[in-house]
Amino acid sequence: MTMNNNRLLKIEMLSTGDEVLQGDIADTNAAWLGQKLGDLGLKFQSRHTVADDLDDLVSSMRECAKRSDWVFVNGGLGPTSDDCSAQAAARLLGVELELYQPWLEQLQQWYARKNLVMPQSNAKQAMLPKGAEFVDNPVGTACGFIIEYEGAKLIFTPGVPSEMKKMALEQWFPRLPVSFDTGVKRFYSFGLSESWLNDKIDKLTLPLGARIGYRSARPSIEIKIFYDGRCGVDTRLSFEAQVRELIGSFLFCEDQGNWAQSLQDEMLVRKLKLSLAESCTGGMIADQLVAQAGSSAYFVGGIVAYSNSVKSQILKVSDKDLAQYGAVSLSVVEQMAQGVRQVLGSDIGIATSGVAGPDGGSESKPVGTVCFAISTANASFSQTLKFSSPGRHPIRVMATAVAMDMLRRYLNGLSLSADYQLASRIEQQGSEFL
Amino acid sequence: MTMNNNRLLKIEMLSTGDEVLQGDIADTNAAWLGQKLGDLGLKFQSRHTVADDLDDLVSSMRECAKRSDWVFVNGGLGPTSDDCSAQAAARLLGVELELYQPWLEQLQQWYARKNLVMPQSNAKQAMLPKGAEFVDNPVGTACGFIIEYEGAKLIFTPGVPSEMKKMALEQWFPRLPVSFDTGVKRFYSFGLSESWLNDKIDKLTLPLGARIGYRSARPSIEIKIFYDGRCGVDTRLSFEAQVRELIGSFLFCEDQGNWAQSLQDEMLVRKLKLSLAESCTGGMIADQLVAQAGSSAYFVGGIVAYSNSVKSQILKVSDKDLAQYGAVSLSVVEQMAQGVRQVLGSDIGIATSGVAGPDGGSESKPVGTVCFAISTANASFSQTLKFSSPGRHPIRVMATAVAMDMLRRYLNGLSLSADYQLASRIEQQGSEFL
């Protein structure tokens, strides 16, 4: 099969359930599956959400099947009576539900291993439309199945995200006519705009069998290169080198997009310890680092220096400088970074202080103005940036990202004076290479 | 109109756009609108997502219109050529697009006020299907419109969330046959399970014209009471008093669900200052408090005491106790709370220390074990809870919520020894009423 064939495959998704339909939960399954299909060079034709209502389900399945090659039906396979996807499938085909004995035994064994008696309601989950093909669920009690209707295949999966994902990846994707020597290369950039990247990468000569995708997930842009079998290894590596060069120092990680994990890996290799002094980011940087298991091996701790008294008493910032330059100043943020490094005893100290708004801005320091500093035993660098993103939360998110980016740049010997496209540089101080 | 009529109203949503369909962004507009309709006692019959493809759009609109009284079409009204919802509407009706002069003038004035020349492409946004009813967009360049097809009304709105929301609330909802003396009362609880609440509230006698809704948004459960005109004020207040009594001390806020804001309001009224010493929560509590504008008025700062050296050197925790009892112990967490209160100079100090996992658990302190302490000038209370939620992130989220709940309980003179249904109490120390 070639990619051209893949593009023609018509796929629809049918989600069931009141919680999704009435907005109690966002349909993250749909977003996840859309992205994964994109990685294979495929895409949804359309998506539909209906309540767990037998008539609605049957007519939606019929309509989807008429238009598509594959319909991915998600949800409605639970043990309770409101879950009726299997029943709807049987009615669509005009057949009965019948017991699939191997799954009933699997369920009974699962409960027996936990020293529990299987509730009678779970037996319902072993009832499949007559003639359906069984689809295993290795991580839950709701098995899936596949039926054919008017030339279309419909695959039924449970709504629990972890179960749906495992079943889609392991049991549905291998059935799709995709050439599976397909590879994906991912780059994660910070500081460049999507349109800038798009323009530049468009000017490269795309090798046969490669295509580009972008995903903007604030604060980063993910650049994906998808390959099919026509694109050989040498060609891939040489093209990736061109993309890497183009992103330049704004490349945060490759292959995986977890910044905190990638910083943690680098800190551990270098056996360095970090501490933080956060004012406007108020714990957000620490929270992201601590979210990674094992972060205690390099992250000593942080001071949320929200008031001036904490800045002066704990971080030893000069009261005179606080009064003269204000809390949002290069002088103060430098002293914060140095202070936290010394007080908490780490190799590197990073500090933030800014005006996140909505109030507190002035003519000289409008909302969006944030000062950053990084301090080591030998040197320090500080900078003031002005973010254009509106709103307290986006400003704090961007400030957190810049602080993490400064650590990455320091660890990789890159210039700390980066030309971010999403902020304007107001001033800087110290050596840009520490 | 009575609520019975409302329930019969058939509403569908049609979202357009590749970003939503392919999962680059989750359809939060749909979730938001579903919730808002629920508040009015209405709900979606189904929801559909299609690409910005003229043929697909026209056939989807036709199908939706056949089944519904109202179709809420969202997206595809931008200035670029891929946005084609207005064109699809015109084709559905078999009419031409025609210039809506007042909107063109509005756009030109908008650009003129900003000293900009209107790009030619924006003129497209003033082209409406002949005969369509104009719908104003007070906050953007894409106006909306309403058409009728086969007895159904279709309303077209832009995909930008802030624009869609304003237009739905102000211009669509008033056109729906809902009795608008309808009121909503909201309670936000923490620490009780949804099924427990459901069982208890089900046993109350629901007044005529009232109905109950629940929304689980970890870590809290929102209980909503919807009223129509048949339910008078006295009846409402008396029923609300019963629900309030039932939730008891687990009621976190009423009417609005922003916990940090509600704590901030209470702290400001009482003129009290807070500081935090966070170990396993690692900045998450501080981050949530600082997310509120104006938090600097009561939040002095925090210490992310991730390593033992920070606990002993900055927070003055006894090295002997750290060695003897371990970092996750009542003794240490108490000293952390007292230490941060004294070192940062606040009225109240709150501390957390726990095993968030996935590693680091032991037989006596398994993953999910978290110690909490609150300290004032006169007294302190500490407790160890064991959370059953699996995973590092859920444990940290629950621990953050318990810490905030302890502050709320202290401020309201409630027992600090709460019988949370989502955790088991291992031990406690000190007076439960400070």
Q: What pLDDT, in 10s, does the model give residues A75-85?
A: 999 888 788 99
Which residues partner with B156 through β-bridges?
B73, B145
CATH, residue A83: 3.40.980.10
Residues of A whose CB is below 8 A from B303: 301-304
**Amino acid letter, residue A396:** R
- Chain A residues closer than 8 Å to B220 by CB: none
- Report the gap between the CA of A101 and the closest CA in chain B (Å): 32
Closest Cβ opposite residue A309 in set B215, B300, B306: B300
Give backbone dihedrals phi and psi of B189, rounded to 5 degrees, phi first.
Answer: -115, 155
Which residues, in sequence order, are bridge partners of residue B127? B99
Phi, psi of A74 (to 5 degrees): -125, 125
Residue partners of B52: CB distance under 8 A and separation at least 6: B16, B17, B18, B75, B76, B82, B83, B84, B85
Residue type, A199: D
Domain boundary among B175, B192, B219: B175
Chain B residues closer than 8 Å to A294 by CB: 359
Task: Please list, in sequence order, all residues whose beta carbon lies within 8 angstroms of the beta carbon of residue A95, skipping any fewer than 6 positions away.
Answer: A129, A130, A131
Both A26 and A157 in one domain: the answer is yes
Interface of B with A in 403-422 (CB under 8 A): none
Gap between the Cα atoms of A194 and A219, Å rounded = 11
Nearest residue in chain B measured CA to CA from A355: B293
Domain at B325, CATH number:
3.90.950.20
Question: B373: which 2 tokens?
Answer: 């302490």
CA distance to partner chain B, nearest, from residue A299 (Å) = 7
Q: Do both B289 and B408 map to the same domain?
A: yes
> Which range of residues forms the domain containing residue B60?
3-175
- The neighbouring-strand residues paired with B148 are B153
Separation between Cα atoms, residue B35 and residue B48, nearest integer Å? 17
Residue in A46, A47, A304 nearest the CB of B286: A304
A309: nearest CB among B51, B281, B345: B345
The answer to whether residues A75 and A155 belong to one domain is yes
Across the interface, whether the CB atoms of B301 and A302 are under 8 A apart is answered no
Distance from CA of B34 to the nearest CA of A (A): 4
Distance CA A307, CA A305 (A): 6
What is the spatial distance between Cα B249 and Cα B266, in angstroms, rounded to a whole number? 16
In this complex, the residue of B35, B46, B283 whose CB is nearest that of residue A290 is: B283
Instruction: Inspect the interface and report whether the beta carbons of B306 and A302 lie closer than 8 Å.
Output: yes
Contacts with A31 (C-beta within 8 Å, 6 or more apart), sequence order: B23, B24, B25, B26, B27
Rg (alpha carbons) of chain B, rounded to whole number: 27
Instruction: Out of A47, A302, A307, name the one closest to residue B296 (CB).
Output: A307
Q: Report how many domains make up chain B.
A: 3
User: Which of B175, B210, B244 lies at the terminal end of a domain, its last residue?
Assistant: B175
Do residue A108 and residue A171 come from a single domain?
yes
Rounded CA separation B80/B68 (Å): 30
A193 shares a domain with A287: no
Tokens of A231: 């694109």
Helices (H) and strands (E) in chain B, counts: 15, 18
| Lateral strand order in the sheet of A70-74 | A133-135, A144-149, A152-157, A70-74, A11-16, A44-50, B44-50, B11-16, B70-74, B152-157, B144-149, B133-135
In terms of domains, do B303 and B222 share one?
no
Contacts of A222 in chain B (CB under 8 A): none
Residues A139 and A68 reside in one and the same domain: yes
Contact A250, A191 (CB under 8 A): yes
Indicate if B19 and B93 belong to the same structural domain.
yes
* pLDDT (average), residues A230-258: 94
3-state secondary structure of B286: helix
A44:B21 CB<8 A? yes
User: Within an 8 Å CB–CB cutoff, is residue A391 touching chain B?
Assistant: no
Q: Do A296 and B306 touch (CB under 8 A)?
A: yes
**Chain B, 51-90: which have a CB under 8 Å from a chain A CB?**
51, 56, 60, 63
Do A74 and A100 lie in one domain? The reply is yes
CA distance B343 to A100: 66
Do residue B43 and residue B162 come from a single domain? yes
**CA A351 centroid distance within chain:** 26
- Full pLDDT tens readout for chain B, 434 residues: 333 444 478 999 999 988 788 877 778 899 899 988 887 878 899 999 998 889 999 999 999 999 999 999 999 998 888 889 999 999 999 999 999 999 999 999 988 987 888 888 888 999 999 999 999 999 889 999 999 999 999 999 999 899 999 999 999 999 998 765 568 899 999 999 888 898 899 899 999 989 888 887 778 999 989 888 889 889 999 999 999 999 999 999 999 889 999 999 999 999 999 999 999 999 999 999 999 999 999 999 999 998 999 999 999 999 999 999 999 999 999 999 999 999 999 999 999 999 999 988 999 999 999 999 999 999 999 999 999 877 899 999 999 999 999 999 999 999 999 999 889 999 999 999 98
Cβ-Cβ contacts under 8 Å for A112 (sequence gap 6 or more): none
CATH number (domain holding residue B192): 3.30.70.2860
Average pLDDT in the A226-241 region? 91
The yes/no answer to whether this complex scores an ipTM above 0.90 is no
Q: Which residues of A touch B48 (CB under 8 A)?
A: 46-49
Same domain assignment for residues A240 and A338: no
Q: Where are the alpha helices (DSSP H) in B76-127?
A: 85-93, 101-113
Report the DSSP pairing between strands A152-157 and A251-254. Answer: unpaired
CA dist B362 and B342 (Å) reads: 32
How far apart CA B169 and CA B175 sit, in angstroms, is 10
Question: Angle formed by the axes of helices A85-93 and A54-67, to 10°?
Answer: 60
Instruction: Chain A: give the shortest CA distance to residue B101, in Å.
Output: 32
Which one of A45, A46, A301 has the shortest CB-CB distance to B304? A301
Q: Which of residues 187-246 of A touch B (CB under 8 A)?
A: 215-216
A14 backbone φψ class: left, alpha, beta (φ>0; ψ -120 to 50): beta
Nearest to B239 by CA among B205, B214, B215: B205
Which residues of chain B are within 8 Å of residue A37 when distances are taken between CB atoms? 22
Residue type, A191: G
Dihedral angle computed from the Cα positions of residues B263, B264, B270 and B273, in that order, rounded to the nearest 10 degrees: 110
Report residue B307 as tokens: 């390593």
pLDDT above 50 for A117: yes
Report which of B222, B212, B249 is spatially closest to residue B433, judged by C-alpha positions. Answer: B249
Spatial CA neighbour of A334 closest among A347, A321, A320: A321
Average pLDDT, integer, range A105-117: 88
- Mark whether B150 and B131 lie in a shared domain: yes
Give me B260's structure tokens.
């940090």
> Which residues in chain A are closer than 8 Å to B50, comparing Cβ atoms?
45-47
Question: Considering A147, A175, A203, which residue would you say is the last residue of a domain?
Answer: A175
